[in-house]
Amino acid sequence: MKDERLERLRFQISEDLAAGTQKSVAEYAALFPNQDLLVSRAYVEAHTLGLNILDASDEGEFIGPYRLEKELGRGGQGVVYLAEDTRLHRRVALKVLQGLGPDAKTHLQRFRREAEVASKLDHPGICGVYEAGMAGEIPFIAMRFVEGETLAAITDRAKQAGSSAPSELLSTFFLDARDDETTDASVSAEASDESRDQKSSTRATSVNRKAVNEVLSIYEKAARALHVAHEAGIIHRDIKPGNIMITRDREPVLLDFGLAREETSDLASLTMTGDVFGTPAYMSPEQVRGERGSIDRRSDTYSLGVSLFESLTLRRPFESATRQGLYQQILSSEAPGARQFNSAIPRDLEVVLETVLAKNKDHRYQTAAAFADELGHVLRMEPIVSRPSGPLVKTLRWAQRNPALAVALSALVLCISVGLIVALISLARTRRALAGERHARTEAEEVTNFFERVLQSVDPGIKGADVSVLEVL
């Protein structure tokens, strides 16, 4: 019980420090009465662990050899600063761990793992690590500073603009301004209104497709960078637009390997069966199920496919007001066709998206390189390898994902079919019986009519004389 109170107190102090609402020892003692010793211990630990690094955000402050310039962003346990390495006189992105809370040991392990994983990767499309260490008791990672903005920021601005034509919006962020100026200049100031409308329509179509191609080019490069990480045995596990930085030269750079793991490692000490890691909207079905052993490079490729879908349509393939509803969609629902949200998307690209977002990872692209190759085929208008799934294939895959429901529906269909067959047989018998009855009635009527005609043909002049049947006939 004592340890539980201590952990709760530690977490409260770290949360206050992270929020900038630091309290005095006396104030914490009032919140935890009769626990003066625990309060003093937790307060000292919080400060000696370096949790109170918020004061270091002031320009000119130092963390080790790094002079802080400004804060770039912050997350649950870390703050990223733009800093200068005073030894090599270069700018770096300095990630500092803070707000550890009751799971301090686990957070420190993951922080160190992020540095170890990223340091193994050397590729222009991956944010490299220069150094990792401790400044006093403050853990830090010095990384390459990538100037630009994330795909998440670009997409969010496009969404806020509120257009129903995603590609027109994306052109604002993905196409060079000089391209737009050149296109605008081609419209003569003296042209008629009708001519202007025609040229505007042509330009819109052109810009839409150019914007789609620009997005494809970025994602093709991102997929190839991801493949490099996979070939090094690293699974990212949190691929999303927020972890893809776009530089001023329009080059994608993968960020944040904090949840990454080595493909051959089970990370037993950090990840237990049933744990769910990643950002919910971008997680693969196997991540949602918490199947640690099933998460591999194809899971990352799936997440990259979700990100591409969002960049092209300004919506995610699966959306729900609740996390449980979102998980249910990811596990059970097919991704909608992207063209229904953006008509500028080529049909081949829609097939590529269908493939990369397959529920069963065996039906997806088996490597990020294969995904990149398909995006390249679409860009160059070459034939793609993937083929669209027909109704039968989709039905079979649905049955594989929902075996119990499939069995129940099959039984229902079978019962209905048997009932229908029995009804048809009964109907056929009834029809045959009715037909036989009609035939017998017709014959009887014909016989009756015959004898009526026979009787009517008898000569009244015979007056009781015997007449043979032969004579009558």
Question: Which sequence positions are flagged as catalytic?
Answer: 238
- Answer whether 294's CB lies under 8 Å from 361's CB: yes
Q: What whole-number distance in Å separates Cα of residue 236 and Cα of residue 45?
A: 32
Q: How far is CA 217 from CA 304, 376, 452, in A?
A: 13, 8, 96
- Which residue's structure tokens are 């995904």? 371
Neighbours of 416 (CB within 10 A): 10
Here the contacts of 272-279 (C-beta below 8 Å, separation 24 or greater) are 277/237, 277/238, 278/237, 278/238, 278/303, 279/238, 279/240, 279/242
